[in-house]
Structure 1
């Protein structure tokens, strides 16, 4: 059993999504004590955003700049970690109605034709099925579905990769006062307990 733990929040110890993702990992380790856990902190060590150099390299060009070579290798490593994992836990706070740019940069390195998806005559086909995704979602407010470009995007992109087993542990309204924050975190902890059942 391999578990990949991805965190993206920039707020460090104050982060609700980091707190929840850590508690999800703790719960999974109790259930799978011999699981191998790989941690990727995209706030502490971000993967660069895609550029024309990345696209040219994907088309067969040989990059010359050492920075680009290293960044392409980092992206390949991220893809390999993702493909090898049985369970992926993603700490995903909502920033300005969407996911953090660090998380989007990581996802861009996963969206590789022939690795996580392919196009067929019948349309796109996901190639990364068979794994479980657990998203630790945090939001400062409470948002209508029309304003959600965070969880809806994550469900869509992981679904595009062929993953159907996607769970979301959500704490929302955490910026609406101490009482609302405690209540939201406690509700999320209940959802974590439910995952372990």
Structure 2
């Protein structure tokens, strides 16, 4: 059976989006090097996941054997997203940084796939480790585009980067621990600064792909 790469875009911009263009380039490089992979693609702005509401919460925390038709309907999209997430072996996210965090559409996606008894178990009797991830052996690449620069580890704006810690925590909670980040910045400055940052991101992508050859 072929392995699968799930590519998720979360920028509302199209042609002007650096996270889209760079994640597409990463995808092309990956599939060129690993033709044994099949591609799954999801554009969160074409098929937006619903935000969690009262009906979703009631359904998610009702045991499957006791769910009504309304519960099932409330979780229909979430169930599909979780199934797709498990089907993939590797993940590729294209993410713009918005106000030091992620776009709300990506947060909605994450809220739909972090599900008790689907992607994690809650065992309150286990006082040492009540939460147990159910996603095993997956890897993730995150291509981030920022308006400024200096958000990476050890750089001047690292304390303002709430995107990377949030993604590491959320996906790590369900079991995705191997997450590689690739940054491009300087969109607000443009010109040579932007171009240099894009080229650095491309070199980083090539290094990440080659490291798996």
| TM-score of Structure 1 vs Structure 2, range by shorter chain | over 0.9
Paired residue secondary structure (2:76):
helix
1:95 and 2:98 are equivalent in the alignment: yes
Q: Which has the larger radius of gyration?
A: 2
1:130 to partner: Cα distance: 0.4
Q: Aligned partners of 1:165, 1:114: CA distance in 2, in Å?
A: 22
Output aligned runs, 1:124-163, within 5 Å: 124-142=131-149, 143=151, 144-163=157-176
- Cα separation, 2, equivalents of 1:59 and 1:141: 41
- Partner of residue 81, structure 1: 84
* Segments ≥4 residues shifted beyond 4 Å: none
When normalised by structure 1's length, the TM-score is 0.92
Tell me, in whole angstroms, the C-alpha distance in 2 between the residues paired with 1:43 and 1:62. Answer: 30
Asked whether the 8 Å contact 1:134–1:168 carries over to 2, the reply is yes
How far apart are residue 125 of structure 1 and its match?
2.2
Q: Does 1:171 align with 2:177?
A: no
Residue of structure 2 in register with 1:55 after alignment: 57
Alpha-carbon distance between aligned partners in 1 of 2:161 and 2:119, rounded to the nearest angstrom? 24
Give the C-alpha shift of residue 64 in structure 1: 3.8
C-alpha contact (below 8 Å) 1:129/1:164 kept by paired residues: no
Q: Distance in 2 between matches of 1:161 and 1:179?
A: 40
Q: Which runs of 5+ in 2 are unaligned?
A: 152-156
Distance in 2 of aligned mates of 1:119 and 1:75 = 19
Alignment: residue pair count? 194
| Mean CA deviation greater in 134-143 or 116-125 | 116-125
TM-score under structure 2 normalisation?
A: 0.86
Q: How much is the aligned-residue C-alpha RMSD, in angstroms?
A: 1.7
Name the counterpart of 1:6.
8
Structure 1 unaligned blocks of 5 or more: none
Counterpart CA distance in 1 for 2:194 and 2:46 is 25
